[in-house]
Amino acid sequence: MQHHDITSGFQQVTQSASEQFFLEFLDRADTLAFVKEAQGHMRTLLDVRPGQRILDVGCGLGHEAQRIARLVGPGGAVVGVDKSAALVAEAQRRSKLLDLPLTFETGDALALDFANNTFDHCRMERVLMFLADASQAIAEMVRVVRPGGHIALFEFDLDAFMINGGDKVLTRRIVHLLADSMPIGQLGRCLPYLLREAGLVEVTSVPLLCEHPFVHFQGVFGGTVSQAVAAGELSQAEADAWWNDLNNAVTTGSFYAAMPGFVVAAQKQGRS
């Protein structure tokens, strides 16, 4: 089975053999129960209403941007931004025939190409953990949201991944390798502080337990394990034994994998 590194992969999705993996990964992720639950919490905390202008940073294929566009209606607008031109092109293709107030464009979360106070609200899910400077990305979201508007984030705490099945000591090592492959592997637990540090108020945090079916689990860990073997941090024998143990756990019904995730929202001070 070929594995792809999601740590760096989403930063450089291109028209290549690997692109199909990332499209399928994002489509599958959008069907997961915890993703649906998190998105629902985000819409509630943002108080999405008709006529609003909302920015979706790291929009991917535009799954949630489409849903929000239906809620804001023809008097509103949703803009999806993603660093990957390939993902933006696919999001545009999927929404082309939909009569929605929705646009997608390529952009950098660390330097958003919008004027100050442009949007009523801003959202980002499962993206901040990939960025080199989380504080800068949050500062940019704060800048483009109007006073009184809200920002909502959904991120994981990778260092707390719980896995049943396989060698426990080796599993701890691999979980730490995954967490350390991200700029902030413990990002979920840091979100409330980061939002307060950015000057936001009324911070609300909703913890979730994010259960991963094995096929999605493979997509998350596959690249990390392969990269660790290539870097000499893990032997091929250890990697093979770990995957074999997990496959056996799936066969016997004992496999379980989950990690904590956090939906955190806050308000920009002032009046619009």
pLDDT grade for 30, boundaries at 50, 70 and 90: very high
pLDDT value at position 261? Answer: 97
Domain count, the chain: 1
Which of the two residues, 14 and 156, has the higher pLDDT score?
Answer: 156
CA distances 89 to 66, 97, 216, Å, are: 15, 14, 24
pLDDT value at position 21? Answer: 87
- The answer to whether position 1 is within a domain reads no
pLDDT value at position 95? Answer: 95
Which of the two residues, 264 and 18, has the higher pLDDT score?
Answer: 264
pLDDT value at position 10? Answer: 46
Please give the Cα distance from 146 to 253 (Å, whole number): 50
- The answer to whether position 41 is within a domain reads yes
Q: Quick check: 185 pLDDT over 60?
A: yes
pLDDT value at position 156? Answer: 96
Q: Any idea which residue has 């066969």 for tokens? A: 251
Q: Quick check: 11 pLDDT over 80?
A: no
User: Kind of pairing, strands 77-82 and 162-164?
Assistant: unpaired
Mean pLDDT of all residues in 179-189? 93
Mean pLDDT of all residues in 79-103? 95
pLDDT value at position 270? Answer: 81
pLDDT value at position 4? Answer: 52
Quick: pLDDT tens for 51-75: 999 999 999 999 999 999 999 999 9
Percent of the chain with pLDDT over 90: 89
- The answer to whether position 272 is within a domain reads no
- The answer to whether position 142 is within a domain reads yes
pLDDT value at position 83? Answer: 95
pLDDT grade for 1, boundaries at 50, 70 and 90: very low
**What is the sign, positive or negative, of the torsion defined by CA atoms of 262, 265, 266, 268?**
positive
pLDDT value at position 6? Answer: 57
Short-list 57, 40, 47, CA closest to 150: 47
Q: What is the mean pLDDT of the chain?
A: 92
| % helix, strand, coil for the chain, step of 5 | 45, 25, 30
Q: What is the pTM of this model?
A: 0.91
- The answer to whether position 101 is within a domain reads yes
pLDDT value at position 19? Answer: 82
Structural domain boundaries enclosing 233 = 6-267
pLDDT grade for 271, boundaries at 50, 70 and 90: confident
CATH code, domain with 91 = 3.40.50.150
Mean pLDDT of all residues in 221-232? 94
